[in-house]
Amino acid sequence: MQKTVDIKDTFISLMQESFKGKRKRKELARWITDNQEKLSSLISRGEFLRVKHGTRGDIREVLDSLEPCPVCSSFKHSVSFSDRDCYFEAEREMDEAVESGKMSIIEKPSWYPEIPDNREVGGIYYECLKCGAVFIVLFPEREFLGSITRIG
């Protein structure tokens, strides 16, 4: 029983380190292959493959299902706002998280090529300092009312 807890903690911290760029995806893939049998009690075969071969978003979902982040899992993950008030509310929520040292504003991550849907609007990238999740908040522009998306 103790062993299961240990491997879960190790697995979670490896995924978080991979998000924060402290560990290469290849190392994570090698580790889960080495520990495939032990991990079978934690994750399904499909989840195993998503961590091994999938996108950053795939790994993020597996991590969420094992241990939702106490800081950012309550934030909206993918929402196009229906009015300006919703946008300002989300912006305020993110700013408060930055001020309290839970998140930080970052440059566009190198692994993230472009703004969703090629929208020609500005945005801000936020990184959760607890789990390494990255969000983009797009500013309202004309008929577009802004959005928040967890991109990885």
Number of C-beta neighbours around residue 1 at 10 A: 4
Question: Which pair of structure tokens corresponds to residue 95?
Answer: 């700013």
42 touches Zn ion by CB under 5 A = no
Label residue 130 left, alpha or beta by phi (over 0 means left) and psi (-120 to 50 means alpha).
alpha
What is the spatial distance between Cα 144 and Cα 50, in angstroms, rounded to a whole number?
33
Question: Nearer Cβ to Zn ion, position 12 or 145?
Answer: 12
3-state secondary structure of 103: strand
71 or 121, CB closer to Zn ion? 71
Q: Considering the complex, state which of residue 47 and residue 127 has its C-beta at the smaller distance from Zn ion.
A: 127
Question: Within 10 A of 42 (CB to CB), how many other CB atoms are there?
Answer: 17
Verify binding: residue 71, Zn ion, rule CB under 5 A: yes
Mark the segment that binds Zn ion (CB under 5 A) among 44-52, 91-99, 115-123, 125-133: 125-133
Q: Pick one of 14, 28, 72, 137: the residue that binds Zn ion (CB under 5 A).
A: 72
Work out how close the CB of 64 gets to Zn ion at its nearest, in angstroms, rounded to a whole number. Answer: 9
Binding span for Zn ion by CB under 5 A among 14-22, 50-58, 64-72, 105-113 = 64-72
Name which of 109, 146, 140 is nearest 127 in CA terms.
Answer: 109
Residue 77 within binding range of Zn ion, rule CB under 5 A: no
Q: If binding is defined by CB under 5 A, does position 128 make contact with Zn ion?
A: yes
| Binding-site member from 32, 51, 62, 133 for Zn ion (CB under 5 A) | 133
Please check whether residue 39 is in contact with residue 18, taking contact to mean a CB–CB distance below 8 angstroms. Answer: no
Q: Does residue 131 interact with Zn ion by CB under 5 A?
A: yes
Query: Distance between CA atoms of 84 and 106, rounded to whole angstroms?
Result: 24
Binding site for Zn ion (CB under 5 A): 69, 71-72, 128, 130-131, 133
